[in-house]
């Protein structure tokens, strides 16, 4: 168990550093709004957003504390406004939160509340969770290991479904919306239940490479909401306290539920599912066993008609990346793969597709763009028509000469931009009402229709005059999300949440008559999204257990049921969770008062040495303890490390730091090693080493279009001094040397589908060159690279690799040896080494099974390989000749892609190598078996 805990701590040490390091340019000036519960740090110019976030959190805190606990530790929240990503997180190691402030276009996904407020009411619940989960054994582990220790203990005791389900419940409780009221949020489980797919708990928790499974957000909400409905609002406070404290045995949360609910874990979760199944009892059930047993097929999204018989849409499968396809009848033709993007939306007109493609900034990770791409469906060629823009949901005018797109500025302001077909800005429509626009469409030559959100988060359809900017509203504002409007003549078709389903509506722009659309052919569909209309047909996508599936019927078969807005613009359903009304925090968001909080400048140097965690490192023969620090802005990374080497018995202590706020990273460090041991005339001698280094590194991101491309170059200057211990100072003089270490890393890869083991096409290159400057003569160059190609089947992969290392004769410096020697052999650092390798990777099986909620096996995959290293040593002779030898091996490996504790992904393998040559530097025997812990190159 101790070894497992240490391994998980190592995994945590890696993932805790996964956030963007040095992601903002130095030109960004930071300010802060402070309250007793949170410090909101924000770029200058976002004062009103920061104030609203801080006020919401400060005023909400005491109202929602009783259901989780009253422990309070102030958190730092960083607002990021340069990114097109809609996301946020709260994390330990270090304790901080980041809000990515650009809202998404799809209001069904997360809702339509003002995005910064949505993040505040969701993410601050995570803050309260971490504040109150430092109890019992979790607290004990955190004492030696810091915040990283608490993060590990909490992950082992409280599952991720509770963290997110409880936060979704909070957003649903304190607002009039929240995902717990949105039909879209439950589509995944509804589809599984309707199809009769009774997956195991472990499969629902861990996912599959074959079948669709919903993520842990809706699962968690159903569990949390049912617990509060059945056992009271304080139920989870007691459960999670006992779980985080490890008061109830090896399965902490399961034991805590049994203690507080009086039923076992299986009975509890079955009852939670049954509650929501009852809500959706009227969903049509599949009777076709072929459908019931069918695996995930594809997501078919955003259909667009070329004519009544031909559709264009996006198709995404588990073994192919997203591509544009044309379907005529039952025949499909691929047009092109889609460029990297954050939203699959596209529009079509007269042979051209337009969509927004994601592009990162060359250097700054928190700054990225959505640039418009135009794709010709005849040639499959596309061109980029805008640069460094933040555009969303573009659409063509009727004549194809004008484009409308939503622009979201770093300030958060939403605007409608009109552009010509070359991407040149023609005009910007005024937005005096502070609306947030989604999915605009042309209505004639001089007007636009757009789904809009007001400053409360309510939605309507807006009719906008292009010349004057005058806006009128076609529907009453409500919290029911609206999306995907399509204009056909005098009718606008759109999807709106209505009751338990997202329904398809039509609104006459001439007489304002609203109709609910229905047809016998689509009875039982789960959601009606992304409608497309031709002269005689209508198409849409509905959610199924096999993905988003395209459906279409004749317009003549559509029933248009006139409906009053009073029937569809009612409050969103609460899914039979009356506890949402029986809490003092119900709809608290509407009561937040605009009470200004103090604003001050925030220094970029604040809290640089924020040491928060201790991580162990076990890499025999080196055993290390590392004290890790990161500042809140994530521009300074530092580690103090103590290492013991079992082979030589030496000890070392070192410090390394990186500062990422400038264009190049600034790197520096120092190490002191004592009791190094060497041999002299058969006797051991001891000396100490001092190493100091400093340098620069420039990480660049050239990703664009369909390729993910990165380049990193760096150079560091090293000073090293050997000091012999007192007993040997008469025999040896102290010595020193300096050298430069230069590196280059390059990677280029295509996108990878879910089942793909490797990208179909990829290249990577690493070059390291070390050269002495003074003290001693030495040099060493190492180059490694790989080429990735498709295999014989879709998920197969062929990888060709090579490496070359050369070191100067009589090197006075023992540079480290990173040459990837042939599998199975014991390696030595020889003067000249070159290598060629070929490996073939393939899936074996997708078991989708596990045991005891401990280990779940998602996939078995294998590879076969041939490796050949040719080595030469100029100062080493065998049989009177310079040493030259080949080291060849063949073999194979089996890898296991697993999930541990229903949430932590770990891959490992067993490799067999057959040596074709003598292992000159190792033992006897030609058969070698090794445990492999693979490290991803990309």
**Does the pLDDT at position 549 exceed 70?**
yes
Lowest mean pLDDT among 309-318, 505-514, 643-652, 705-714: 643-652
Phi, psi (deg, nearest 5) at residue 341: -155, 170
Instruction: Tell me the pLDDT tens digit for each residue of 699-738.
Output: 999 999 999 999 999 999 999 998 887 777 777 788 899 9
Q: Indicate if the pLDDT at residue 291 is higher than 90.
A: no
Whole-number pLDDT of residue 1: 36
Q: Environment class of residue 566 by beta-carbon count within 10 Å: exposed (0-12), middle (13-18) or buried (19+)?
A: exposed
Domain 31-288+576-601 has CATH 1.10.390: yes
Give pLDDT, residue 391.
98
Report the 10 Å Cβ neighbour count for 758. Answer: 24
- Would you say 623 and 3 are in contact if contact means Cβ atoms under 8 Å apart? no
Q: In the predicted model, what is the mean pLDDT of residues 253-277?
A: 97
Total count of residues recorded for the chain = 938
Q: Please measure the distance between the N-terminal and C-terminal CA atoms of the chain and give it in whole angstroms.
A: 31
According to the model, what pLDDT value does residue 12 have?
Answer: 45
Asked if the bond preceding 101 is cis, omega within 30° of 0, the reply is no
Arithmetic mean of pLDDT, 880-892: 90
Structure tokens belonging to residue 883:
């040493």
Residue 775 CA neighbour count, 13 Å, CB half: 19
User: pLDDT: is 933 or 531 the higher one?
Assistant: 531
**Residue 856: C-alpha distances to residues 162, 241, 253, 597 (Å):** 19, 27, 19, 49
Contact 89, 131 (CB under 8 A): no
Identify the CA nearest to 391 among candidates 365, 419, 422: 419
Q: How far apart are CA 55 and CA 596, in angstroms?
A: 8
Q: For residue 212, what pLDDT is reported?
A: 97
Give mean pLDDT, residues 253-266.
97
Query: How far apart are the C-alpha atoms of 595 and 58, rounded to whole Å?
Result: 10
* 750 contacts 707 by C-beta, under 8 angstroms: yes
Residue 877 has pLDDT above 70, yes or no: no
Closest C-alpha among 636, 631, 721, 630 to residue 673: 721
Rounded-to-integer distance, Cα 84 and Cα 359, Å: 9
Q: Which of 478, 602, 483, 489 lies closest to 536, judged by CA?
A: 489
Distance CA 924, CA 915 (A): 10
Residue 287 — pLDDT band, cuts 50, 70, 90?
Answer: low
- DSSP 8-state assignment for residue 183: G
Q: Label residues 324-356 b or e (16+ Cβ within 10 Å = b).
A: bbebeeeeeeebbebbbbbbbbbbbbeebbbbb
- Residue labelled with tokens 């599959």: 208
51-65, 251-265, 468-482, 721-735: range with lowest mean pLDDT: 721-735
To the nearest 10 degrees (0 to 180), the angle between helices 47-64 and 115-132 is 40
HSE-up of 445 (CA within 13 Å, CB side)?
A: 2
Residue 212, burial from CB neighbour count under 10 angstroms (0-12, 13-18, 19+): buried
DSSP secondary structure code for residue 387 in this structure: S
Cβ distance 831 to 809 under 8 Å?
Answer: yes
Asked if residue 601 lies in contact with residue 44, where contact means CB atoms within 8 angstroms, the answer is no
Residue 7 has pLDDT above 80, yes or no: no
845-858: pLDDT as tens digits:
999 999 999 999 99
Q: Where are the domains of the chain?
A: 31-288+576-601, 339-478, 695-932
Q: Tell me the CA distances in angstroms from 412 to 46, 84, 390, one per residue in order.
A: 8, 11, 11
Query: What is the residue-wise DSSP string for 66-92?
Result: GGT------EEEEEE-S---EEEEEET
Cβ proximity of 117 and 52 under 8 Å: yes
Q: Diameter of the chain by CA atoms?
A: 104
Q: Model-level pTM?
A: 0.95
pLDDT of residue 936: 40
Among 695-704, 808-817, 832-841, which is the least confidently predicted range? Answer: 808-817
Checking if the pLDDT of 562 tops 50, the result is yes
Report the distance separating Cα 676 and Cα 882, nearest Å: 31
Give pLDDT, residue 734: 81
- Average pLDDT estimate for 683-702: 91
Give CA–CA dist 392/597, Å, rounded.
34
The three-state secondary structure class of 479 is coil
Q: How many CA atoms lie within 13 A of 749 on its CB side?
A: 21
At 2, the pLDDT band (50, 70, 90 cuts) reads very low
Cα 684 from Cα 536, distance rounded (Å): 91
For strands 707-724 and 75-80, give the pairing. unpaired
Mean pLDDT score, 785-796:
97
At 11 the pLDDT is 46
> Per residue in 441-485, pLDDT tens?
999 999 999 999 999 999 999 999 999 999 999 999 999 999 999
Tell me the C-alpha distance between 26 and 23, whole Å.
10
Superfamily in which the 339-478 domain is placed by CATH: TolB, C-terminal domain (2.120.10.30)
Report the b/e string of 585-622 with b at 16+ CB within 10 A: bbebbeebeeeeeebeebebebebebebbbbbeeeeee
Helix, coil or strand: residue 428: strand
pLDDT (mean) for 84-99:
96
Mean pLDDT of the chain: 93
Centroid of chain to Cα 524: 33
Q: What percent of the chain has pLDDT over 70?
A: 95
324: enclosing H helix or E strand? strand 323-328
pLDDT of residue 878: 67
SS3 call for 861: strand
Mean pLDDT of 805-815: 84
CB within 8 Å of 673: residues ≥ 6 apart: 650, 651, 652, 688, 689, 690, 691
- Strand 559-562 and strand 599-601: pairing? unpaired
Judged against a pLDDT cut of 50, whether residue 433 lies above it is answered with: yes
The pLDDT > 90 percentage for the chain reads 84
Tell me how far apart the alpha carbons of residues 101 and 82 are, in angstroms, rounded to a whole number. 8
Query: What distance in Å separates the CA atoms of residue 695 and residue 115, rounded to the nearest whole number?
Result: 41
Q: How far apart are CA 172 and CA 523, in angstroms?
A: 29
114 vs 49, 435, 462, 571, CA distance in Å? 10, 10, 18, 18
625 CB-side CA count, 13 A:
7
For 428-433, the CB contacts below 8 A with 24+ separation are 429/464, 429/466, 429/469, 430/469, 431/469, 432/469, 433/471
């Amino acid at each position: 168990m101790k070894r497992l805990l240490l391994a998980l701590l190592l995994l945590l040490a890696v993932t805790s550093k996964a956030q963007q390091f040095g992601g903002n340019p130095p030109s960004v000036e930071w300010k802060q709004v402070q309250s007793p519960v949170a410090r909101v740090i924000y770029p200058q110019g976002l004062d009103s957003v920061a104030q609203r976030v801080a006020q919401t959190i400060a005023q909400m805190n005491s109202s929602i504390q009783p259901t989780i606990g009253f422990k309070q530790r102030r958190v730092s929240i960083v607002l990021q406004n340069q990114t097109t990503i809609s996301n946020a997180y709260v994390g330990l190691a270090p304790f901080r939160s980041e809000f990515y402030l650009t809202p998404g276009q799809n209001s069904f996904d997360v809702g339509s509340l003002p995005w910064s407020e949505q993040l505040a009411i969701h993410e601050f619940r995570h803050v309260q969770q971490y504040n109150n989960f430092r109890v019992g054994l979790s607290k004990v582990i955190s004492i030696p290991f810091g915040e990283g220790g608490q993060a590990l203990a909490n992950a082992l005791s409280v599952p991720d479904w509770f963290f997110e389900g409880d936060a979704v419940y909070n957003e649903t409780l304190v607002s009039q919306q929240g995902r717990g009221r949105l039909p879209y949020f439950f589509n995944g489980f509804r589809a599984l239940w309707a199809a009769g797919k009774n997956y195991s708990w472990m499969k629902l928790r861990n996912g599959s490479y074959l079948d669709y499974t919903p993520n842990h957000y809706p699962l968690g909400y159903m569990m949390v909401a049912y617990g509060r409905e059945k056992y009271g609002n304080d139920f989870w406070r007691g459960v999670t306290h006992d779980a985080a404290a490890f008061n109830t045995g090896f399965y902490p949360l399961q034991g805590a539920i049994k203690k507080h609910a009086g039923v076992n874990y299986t009975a509890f979760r079955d009852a939670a599912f049954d509650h929501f199944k009852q809500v959706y009892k009227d969903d049509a059930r599949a009777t076709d066993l072929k459908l019931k047993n069918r695996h995930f097929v594809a997501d078919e999204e955003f259909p667009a008609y070329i004519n009544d018989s031909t559709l264009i849409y996006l198709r995404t499968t588990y073994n192919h990346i997203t591509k544009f396809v044309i379907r005529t009848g039952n025949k499909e033709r691929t047009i092109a793969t889609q460029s990297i993007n954050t939203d699959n939306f596209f529009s079509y007109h007269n042979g051209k597709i337009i969509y927004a493609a994601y592009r990162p900034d060359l250097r700054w990770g928190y700054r990225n763009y959505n640039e418009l791409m135009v794709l010709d469906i005849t040639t499959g060629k596309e061109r980029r028509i805008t640069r460094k823009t933040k555009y969303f949901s573009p659409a063509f005018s009727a004549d194809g000469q004008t484009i409308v797109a939503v622009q979201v500025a770093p300030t958060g302001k939403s605007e409608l931009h009109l552009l010509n077909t070359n991407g040149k800005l023609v005009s910007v429509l005024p937005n005096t009402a502070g609306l947030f626009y989604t999915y605009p469409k042309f209505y004639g030559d001089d007007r636009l229709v757009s789904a809009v959100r007001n400053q409360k988060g309510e939605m309507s359809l807006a009719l906008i005059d292009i010349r004057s900017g005058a806006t009128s509203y076609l529907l009453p504002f409500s919290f029911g999300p609206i999306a995907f409007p399509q204009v056909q003549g005098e009718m606008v078709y759109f999807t709106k949440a209505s009751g338990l389903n997202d329904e398809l509506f039509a609104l006459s722009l001439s007489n304002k008559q609203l109709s609910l659309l229905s047809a016998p052919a689509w009875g039982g569909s789960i959601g009606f999204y992304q409608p497309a209309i031709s002269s005689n047909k209508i198409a849409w996508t509905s959610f199924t257990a096999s993905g988003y599936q395209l459906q279409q019927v004749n317009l003549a078969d559509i029933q248009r049921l006139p409906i009053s807005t009073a029937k569809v613009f009612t409050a969103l359903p609460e899914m039979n969770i009356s506890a949402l009304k029986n809490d003092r925090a119900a709809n608290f968001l509407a009561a937040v008062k605009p009470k200004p909080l103090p604003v001050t400048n925030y220094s970029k140097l604040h809290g640089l040495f924020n040491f928060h965690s201790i991580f162990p490192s076990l890499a025999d023969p080196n055993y290390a303890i590392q004290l890790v620090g990161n500042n809140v802005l994530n521009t300074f990374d530092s580690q103090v490390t103590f290492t013991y080497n079992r082979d030589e018995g030496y000890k070392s202590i070192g410090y390394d730091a990186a500062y990422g706020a400038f264009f190049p990273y600034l790197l520096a460090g120092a190490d002191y090693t004592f009791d190094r041991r060497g041999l002299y005339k058969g006797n051991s001698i001891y000396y100490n080493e001092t190493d100091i280094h400093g340098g620069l590194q420039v990480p660049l991101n050239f990703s664009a279009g369909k390729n993910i491309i990165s380049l990193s170059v760096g150079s560091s200057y090293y000073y090293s001094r050997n000091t012999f211990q007192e007993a040997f100072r008469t025999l040896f003089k102290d010595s020193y040397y300096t050298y430069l270490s230069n590196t280059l890393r390059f990677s280029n890869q295509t996108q990878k589908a879910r089942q793909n083991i490797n990208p179909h096409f990829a290249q990577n290159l690493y070059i390291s060159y070390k050269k002495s400057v003074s003290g001693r003569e030495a040099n060493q160059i190492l180059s490694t690279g790989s080429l990735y190609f498709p295999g014989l089947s879709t998920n197969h992969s062929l990888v060709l690799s090579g490496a070359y290392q050369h070191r100067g004769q009589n090197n006075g410096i023992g540079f480290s040896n990173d040459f990837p020697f042939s599998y199975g052999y014991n390696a030595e650092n020889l003067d000249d080494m070159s290598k060629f390798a070929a490996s073939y990777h393939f899936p074996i099986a997708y078991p989708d099974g596990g045991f005891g909620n401990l280990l779940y096996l998602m996939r078995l995959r294998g590879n076969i390989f041939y490796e050949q290293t040719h080595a030469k040593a100029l100062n080493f002779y065998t049989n009177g000749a310079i040493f030259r030898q080949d080291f060849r091996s063949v073999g194979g490996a089996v890898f296991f892609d697993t999930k541990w504790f229903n949430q932590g992904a770990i891959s490992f393998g067993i490799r067999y190598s057959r040596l074709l040559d003598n292992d000159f530097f190792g033992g006897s025997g030609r058969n070698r078996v090794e445990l492999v812990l693979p490290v991803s190159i990309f």
